[in-house]
Amino acid sequence: MGTPHNGADKGDIARTVLMPGDPLRAKYIADTYLEDVKCFNTVRNMFGYTGTYKGKRISVMGGGMGMPSIGIYSYELYHFYDVDAIIRIGSAGAMQDDVNVMDLVIGMGACTNSSYADQYQLPGTFAPIPDYGLLEKAVNTAREKGASVRVGNILSSDVFYNDRTDFNDRWKRMGVLAVEMEAAALYMNAARAGKKALCILTISDHLYREDSLSAEDRQTGFRQMMEIALELF
């Protein structure tokens, strides 16, 4: 039986899931890279597919926008569908001057302004980090493919249109490479479940310059990120 957010039966989903935010990007990955594809979810149009890539069984599913959304989908995958690893592949806005549009950023840590960790009632501040084995392999794979890759702290923000004009400046001063909206919740869900997670990002725009990807460049840049993620298993 499925969940309120996922129509899949147990066994329909592979142990490894690639998770873009956009469900249509999940469909693109399935159509472009996977063989013997079956759609396992259409609930709320959050499409999910399972197929094979170079003989390996892999699933891809949209995760939506923001930590509440990816928090729900990743929790259910880890706890109800026996998923071992989720790799978020998404876009981000660059903060540092030496991070450029089209660069790949791999989240070695995920700062956040979210209260997501409050549920764990920890006696301190939790530092959300990915699985090191996935991180190391992703960095090596990206370099082998000639990608421009940066590894470091990212920011998972609850707010896209922030009323505080100095918000980005304060995180930039702390060396944060880029901002997105999901990784911290994914990393926390993985930690609590004893599972694996990683976030790989393509820089689609720069917060301090006019640089941004065209539609064609966005497709090319995201394709490189997708192909790196697919090679991790």
- Does the domain at 16-230 match CATH 3.40.50.1580? Answer given as yes
Strand partners, 154: 110, 178
Token digits of residue 120? 């764990």
For tokens 């690893």, the residue is 85
Structure confidence at residue 213 (pLDDT)? 80
Q: Catalytic: 205?
A: yes
Residue 160 and residue 15: Cα distance in Å, rounded? 32
- Span 9-20, pLDDT tens digits: 999 999 999 999
Strand partners, 223: none
Residue 107 and residue 32: Cα distance in Å, rounded? 26
Structure confidence at residue 156 (pLDDT)? 98
Q: Could you give the C-alpha distances from 181 to 20, 45, 67, 111, 223, in angstroms and in order? A: 12, 20, 6, 10, 20
Q: Could you give the C-alpha distances from 120 to 11, 82, 191, in angstroms and in order? A: 29, 22, 11
Structure confidence at residue 214 (pLDDT)? 78
- Among the listed residues 22, 84, 158, 205, the single catalytic one is 205
Residues of the chain short of pLDDT 50, as ranges, are: none
